[in-house]
Amino acid sequence: MTADLQKGSMRLRTCFLGLVALFVTGKCSYSPEPDQQRTLPPGWVSLGRVDSEEDLSLTFALRQQNVKRLSELVQAVSDPGSPHYGKYLTLEDVAELVRPSPLTLRTVQKWLLAAGARNCHSVTTQDFLTCWLNVRQAELLLSGAEFHRYVGGPAEIHVIRSPRPYQLPKALAPHVDFVGGLHRFPPTSSLRQRPEPQVSGTVGLHLGVTPSVIRQRYNLTAQDVGSGTTNNSQACAQFLEQYFHESDLAEFMRLFGGKFAHQASVARVVGQQGRGRAGIEASLDVEYLMSAGANISTWVYSSPGRHESQEPFLQWLLLLSNESALPHVHTVSYGDDEDSLSSVYIHRVNTELMKAAARGLTLLFASGDSGAGCWSVSGRHQFRPSFPASSPYVTTVGGTSFQNPFRVTSEIVDYISGGGFSNVFPQPSYQEEAVAQFLSSSPHLPPSSYFNASGRAYPDVAALSDGYWVVSNSVPIPWVSGTSASTPVFGGVLSLINEHRILNGRPPLGFLNPRLYQQRGAGLFDVTHGCHESCLNEEVQGQGFCSGPGWDPVTGWGTPNFPALLKTLINP
């Protein structure tokens, strides 16, 4: 990424007068750069400019209306003390609220038509528009953009992105939040396979985390499965050529699912499911969501990003904005460093997560696998929060390990468990008391210059993240670790609670956090031992935050104790 881009100081010398004349009279005029990823991620290499006639798919995020009102409605439908609790909005309700103004719709459509955009598709909420253009048209449309092909990541993925910032005509800037498909590079999975722990003797030991171990630790009996008689469903999302194989799922259930009723196939795949090799992360997500949330209809959202200009996470958000009937629980193992994302992008994605919360969807995101994270700002180290884990509108899941890695014992912190404080989002009111209690009582707080104590704090909950068995490409693989494992497990547990709620005539749980914090972690095993990793310097010596009684920014309120959690959440 160029120094010009990083400093945001490149001034444009030319302008596309034909387009600008539609909006601006007089001299050339542009808005500030609306969106950019600020650094080229490690491991990505440019293969040079893209041919001017090559086609691109770009997504235009149109400015929404009534976002503050949407936030108020999320609070009303998610707070058990509110008379509107559980009275979720439909997709049509949300569309009526946030739909861009007629002026915005008209202005953007006119702009795109003049540029030669084709095959444009909107969503139900009308706040996203995806169009096809060739590179020449896109570079004229988005002044300053210059498309290059890059290759990188463990799978040697090819993407088309612009190393230079784009600018919009000033008259258009009030109508478009950002254009997707230009700057953000795919994050790589941090899922890892750890070496097998060494231990003497084998009596009463397990040899890695399997569904039986999960169910034993979290007190799930053989009867704690879906009834098969409700419209309850759950989903996970897979990105970037990460696919699961139905044959792997069937083999996994044959090996590990013999003691509980389960479904051996996915009910629905939304998007394109590729025919390539299975990815460990996609296999893990599906296998543990369907074994924790056993016998519950499961969807997989597949956004492979097969076209090089697409952003798979953005494609998933568009799918949510275009389906009126969705699973109640969604688990996602995806994240970016907050500081790598522009302000307009991160706030707009946060609004998309708010839309989901208003509709009663429970979104669970992995907290990340870098502990508190670390980066240098003006020569000083700080912790590095992750997004969407830091969004106030999702439930973020951290990670734990068994105190004895070969026994089903109490849990301690998994040192990789992501957690900390947002530098973008202020602390939501639902967690102020819990965070204040932690900050005033923790004996091991890092220096205050390392984190924003007034920011949204995460994670909210946790589950085991260390030493999983996964079947991928027909091979059982041991000791797979990461919060990509804990997230579908917690999601499956919440799906079982939704099953009971639906059978009792209650609405699904929806956005869980206001209730979770009001009930102060009731129904969860409190994890009170261990710290996660952070900056390797003399000041903090690799240690971030440490867990303690109650909520903490390492394991949240703790891990699920199913019977107690069910009792806590089944009513009202």
* Strand order through the sheet with 55-62: 118-122, 128-134, 55-62, 176-180
- DSSP secondary structure string, 514-571? HHHHHTTTTTEEPP-S-EEE---STTTTTEEEE--SS-BTTTBT-EE-HHHHHHHHS-
Q: Going by C-beta distance under 8 Å and a sequence separation of 6 or more, which residues neighbour residue 407?
A: 204, 205, 206
Residue 92 a catalytic site member: no
State the burial class of residue 209 (Cβ atoms within 10 Å of its Cβ: 0-12, 13-18, 19+). buried
Q: Pick the catalytic residue: 35, 177, 285, 352?
A: 285
φ and ψ at 311, to 5 degrees? -110, 110
Is residue 552 marked as binding?
A: yes
Residue 484 a catalytic site member: yes
Q: Going by C-beta distance under 8 Å and a sequence separation of 6 or more, which residues neighbour residue 423?
A: 338, 339, 385, 452, 455
DSSP state at residue 182: S
- Residue 299 CA from chain centroid, whole number: 17
DSSP state at residue 206: -
Q: Going by C-beta distance under 8 Å and a sequence separation of 6 or more, which residues neighbour residue 20?
A: 28, 29, 169
Please tell me the chain's helix, strand, coil percentages from 3-state DSSP, rounded to the nearest 5: 30, 25, 45
Amino acid 355 reads K
DSSP state at residue 448: G
Unique residue bearing structure tokens 């068995």? 469
Residue 281 a catalytic site member: yes
Is residue 336 marked as binding?
A: no
- DSSP secondary structure string, 51-89? PTT-EEEEEEEEPPS-HHHHHHHHHHHH-TTSTTTT-PP
Q: Pick the catalytic residue: 484, 486, 534, 547?
A: 484
- Residue 438 CA from chain centroid, whole number: 25
Distance, CA of 485 to CA of 369 (rounded, Å): 11
Q: Pick the catalytic residue: 139, 248, 281, 414?
A: 281
Which residues are identified as catalytic? 281, 285, 484
Which residues contribute to the annotated binding site? 526-527, 550, 552
Which residues contribute to the annotated binding site for Ca(2+)? 526-527, 550, 552
